[in-house]
Copies of this chain bind each other. A is one copy, B any other.
């Protein structure tokens, strides 16, 4: 399999690190893959962008930091400004259509989805934005099966099984609707 290099980013309260851990655990525990998940905190951690890296592969991973991601998620404007230029040409950029404005001339596959708007409307708050985004990410990359993410969610958050399943499937649906256009 190819090596998947994710850079996930957004603002402090959006649950970026949780999303990264869930993705890594789904790959390792339920898909038999190898994963590395890391946070590099510098002075910028005190600013508006949280970043978490995940590498998933079927072979051992020697260097855990992502220098040039193949898949970039940015859930707020400052993370897009900061990390947008790291994405490799032809890579996949996933942004929230309400929270991030991008320029038009990106040499990438750009998917802009109303993730925030949808979770707020369907679930009553933005708390599950990260889970919804995870669903979209899984639909777009197929790096793990949706069931694997559901199992990790159920095991980590046993009190929120239903709402997390709903958030995940909202993201899966949103992304499946656009995937064929990529």
Contact = CB atoms under 8 A, between A and B. Distances in A.
Interface residues of A, number: 25
Interface stretch (A41-49, A80-88, A116-124): A41-49
Task: Tell me how many chains of this kind the complex includes.
Answer: 2
A161 B159 CA distance: 21
Contacts of A96: none
A36 interface: yes
Interface stretch (A17-25, A100-108, A164-172): A17-25
Interface string A21-64: 10011011100101111111111011000000000000011011
A127 to B, nearest CB: 14
B41 A64 contact: no
Prevailing SS type, chain A contact patch:
mixed
A25 B34 CA distance: 26
A76 to B, nearest CB: 18
Nearest to A32: B43
A126 to B, nearest CB: 17
Contacts of A110: none
B65 A46 contact: no
21 contacts: A17-B21, A21-B39, A24-B39, A27-B41, A28-B41, A28-B42, A28-B43, A28-B45, A28-B46, A29-B45, A34-B41, A35-B41, A36-B38, A36-B39, A36-B41, A37-B38, A37-B39, A40-B64, A63-B63, A63-B65, A64-B65
